[in-house]
Amino acid sequence: LMCFRFHQTHFYLIYFVVRIGTALGLSYAQTRNLVTPITIHALWNSGVILLLTFLQVNMISEYLSYDYN
């Protein structure tokens, strides 16, 4: 059961990486400028970092405000 879940999670991750790679490659092909996909990649990473930070802050605040009684 666990190996199936592992496969399922990584299958979708690989599919996602292929789609992002294709989008970055097309952006380079369209502009012939390497700065374009680098900028898109940097913006994507910034969004992920902000999302993870937001989720972590919310989880910590929920943990601190949890009523243990």
Whether the predicted pLDDT of 68 surpasses 70: no
Q: Would you state the pLDDT for residue 69?
A: 60
What confidence tens digit (pLDDT) does each residue in 12-52 have?
Answer: 778 888 899 999 999 999 999 999 999 999 999 999 899 88
Q: Would you state the pLDDT for residue 49?
A: 92
Whether the predicted pLDDT of 3 surpasses 90: no
The answer for residues whose C-beta is within 8 angstroms of residue 25's C-beta and 6 or more apart is 37
Tokens of 45: 């990473």
